[in-house]
């Protein structure tokens, strides 16, 4: 594959969508073909799964939740991500398998290694070239979520200890794969974060 796969990770409210949009704009200015997408919900199948996992009223078993995310990921990679990479496009994605390891592995207290292996199997072991982790302490992230007028989804509504486990898991993943991860303080000004992201992406593009 000749394209570049870039993912944005981090807790809810850290600014992933904003930074993904800024990176897309910059790349298009450079003449690059870009596909910007998200998980869950980057396909029609994914949108149905997204509604189930994030907006279902009632209990969803943790293992069932993990399998639903993996099913979305398998279909999304097969129908959107791989075809774009094979065309030579840059794929910018809001969340990928690291979110499953953090949210279902650490947050739901399942086995993180099993969750990761499930997603690797689902995607035929596709990993991003660059993963930007926007890191923010739980109190600041909570204030950002509270300031947003939209209702919380099932994961956003979890208690602070859940989000603390998720943040710790993301940081552990980044420490284990420093060549893939770029960890950025999400409290920095938006333009400063965007500049740091562009430097790393420019390096990977050569």
Read off the pTM. 0.92
Mean pLDDT over 72-93 rounds to: 97
In the chain, which ranges are E strands? 4-9, 34-38, 90-94, 130-135, 181-185
Angstrom distance (rounded) from CA 129 to CA 89 = 13
Q: Is the pLDDT of residue 144 over 80?
A: no
**Both tokens of residue 149?**
């007028």
Tally the domains of the chain: 1
Mean pLDDT over 82-96 rounds to: 98
**Both tokens of residue 205?**
């593009």
Residue 53 belongs to domain spanning: 4-205
Q: Is the pLDDT of residue 123 over 90?
A: yes
90 pLDDT tier (thresholds 50, 70, 90): very high
Q: pLDDT, tens digit, for every residue of 167-184? A: 999 999 999 999 999 999
For the ranges 85-99, 131-145, 185-199, which has the lowest average pLDDT? 131-145
């Amino acid at each position: 594959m000749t394209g570049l796969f870039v993912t944005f990770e981090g807790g809810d409210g850290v600014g992933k969508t904003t930074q993904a949009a800024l990176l897309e704009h910059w790349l298009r200015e450079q003449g690059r073909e870009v596909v910007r997408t998200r998980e869950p919900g980057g396909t029609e199948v994914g949108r149905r799964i997204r509604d189930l996992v994030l907006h279902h009223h009632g209990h969803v078993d943790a293992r069932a939740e993990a399998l639903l995310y993996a099913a979305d990921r398998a279909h999304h990679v097969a129908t959107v991500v791989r075809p774009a990479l094979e065309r030579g496009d840059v794929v910018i994605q809001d969340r990928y398998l690291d979110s499953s390891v953090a949210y279902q592995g650490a947050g739901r207290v399942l086995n993180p290694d099993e969750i990761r292996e499930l997603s690797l199997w689902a995607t035929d072991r596709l990993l991003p070239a660059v993963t930007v982790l926007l890191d923010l302490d739980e109190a600041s992230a909570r204030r950002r979520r509270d300031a947003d007028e939209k209702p919380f989804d099932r994961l956003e509504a979890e208690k602070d200890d859940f989000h603390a486990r998720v943040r710790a898991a993301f940081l552990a993943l980044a420490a284990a794969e420093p060549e893939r991860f770029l960890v950025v303080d999400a409290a920095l000004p938006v333009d400063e974060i965007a500049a740091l992201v562009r430097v790393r992406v420019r390096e990977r593009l050569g």
